[in-house]
Amino acid sequence: NGRESIPSDAIREEYENLSDLIRKYRFAYYQDDAPLVSDAEFDTLFRRLEEIEALHPELVANDSPTQEVGGEASAAFAAVEHLQRMYSLEDVFSIEELEAWLNRAEASIAKLGDGTARAAWLTELKIDGLAVNLLYRDGKLVRAATRGDGTTGEDITHNVLTIKEIPQQLSGEGYPSEVEVRGEVFIPSKAFAEFNEALIEAGKAPLANPRNAAAGSLRQKDPAETAKRPLKMFVHGIGAREGLEARSQSETYALLKEWGLPVSPYFEVLEARADVLGFISKYGEQRHKLLHEIDGIVVKVDHFATQRALGYTTRVPRWAVAYKYPPEEVHTKLLDIQVNV
């Protein structure tokens, strides 16, 4: 009838193209462990997609990249269903956006109204590595998987068994009959530099960056290859649990540490907003002096009751946010180096 549709054809086209491009970049990043663009470029595209969807909610398809946790499981590995879904994180890119997020979260928490609804913020480093899900039954590590699309991951048990610091049997007493321990596998910055020097000396192409190197190392077909890589892990959450008594995430970390799991020394539980902002600037300055690479800071509601009350979207928890530090030049330069994982 000649009436111009709302949204316009141009917006529809931009939306489709952007969705396709983001899917393509996600595939290269998650399946091939070889990104085609820098994280900052990817984040800008993702932001634009979110903007279009906010203006035109009727465009949002169920399979939009904003509705899914990125990283479909590759058929090269056996598929593993997580007992409890794994999520991504909502990103903010400035202190103003973080404060707006905290205001909204605090308002939602205040509405909950009960005594447990205090806003204690578990503030920790956003480790630039690969998420893993470790399933312990009666203290024994029975399975390890990548995040995949959040529901189904890839079985990487054999590779994870080569990481010395991940216990195959929990120690101490009182560990739960079943628990999914989530954490980030990474290559420490120093070990990464040394590993690359050795590759260059041997006339081989260096690895592009620690994140993709960690991901590529864990997704090797041959565990003997994984064993050669200097991998470490820090815990950053739990999924399904049976017989685990803890009221908060920080209490859980203390227990996991007792049972022999690697817990980061860097996290803090902070009540005052000024302290959360102080944490961000402190680690912003020390960012390259830490054990591992970080791409930001994660701020989480510490109390489980409050986490449960706030819940999840299809992609992210409503009780956590990732503040991303401004991008640095060096990342785009490193991407020019041939990737070898």
Annotated binding site: 39-43, 88-89, 124, 147, 184, 300, 324
DSSP code at position 72: P
Phi and psi of 175, rounded to 5°?
A: -70, 155
* Local structure of 237: helix, strand or coil: strand
Question: Angle at the Cα of 298 (from 297 to 299), degrees rounded to 5?
Answer: 120
CA-closest candidate to residue 152, choices 202, 81, 235:
81
Candidate residues 93, 98, 105, 147; the one interacting with ligand NAD per rule CB under 6 A:
147
Length of the chain in terms of residues written: 341
Q: Does residue 127 belong to the site contacting ligand NAD (CB under 6 A)?
A: yes
The piece of 102-110, 124-132, 214-222, 276-284 that touches ligand NAD (CB under 6 A) is 124-132
CA-closest candidate to residue 182, choices 251, 234, 247, 243:
234
Segment 79 to 98, residues that bind ligand NAD, using CB under 6 A: 88-89, 91
- Is 228 an annotated catalytic residue? no
CA-closest candidate to residue 212, choices 227, 229, 198:
229
Q: Does residue 276 belong to the site contacting ligand NAD (CB under 6 A)?
A: no
Segment 32 to 51, residues that bind ligand NAD, using CB under 6 A: 35-39, 42-43
Which lies closer to ligand NAD via its Cβ, residue 135 or residue 298? 298
Which lies closer to ligand NAD via its Cβ, residue 139 or residue 267? 267
The piece of 30-38, 58-66, 155-163, 273-281 that touches ligand NAD (CB under 6 A) is 30-38
Binding annotation for NAD(+)? 39-43, 88-89, 124, 147, 184, 300, 324
- Classify strands 320-324 and 91-92 as parallel, antiparallel or unpaired: parallel
C-alpha to C-alpha distance for 279 and 297, rounded to whole angstroms: 9
Candidate residues 92, 255, 322, 339; the one interacting with ligand NAD per rule CB under 6 A:
322
Establish how many alpha carbons lie within 13 A of residue 234's alpha carbon, considering only the half-sphere containing its beta carbon.
19
Residues that bind ligand NAD (CB under 6 A): 25-26, 29, 35-39, 42-43, 70, 88-89, 91, 124, 126-127, 131, 147, 184, 236-237, 298, 322
Question: Which residues belong to the active site?
Answer: 126
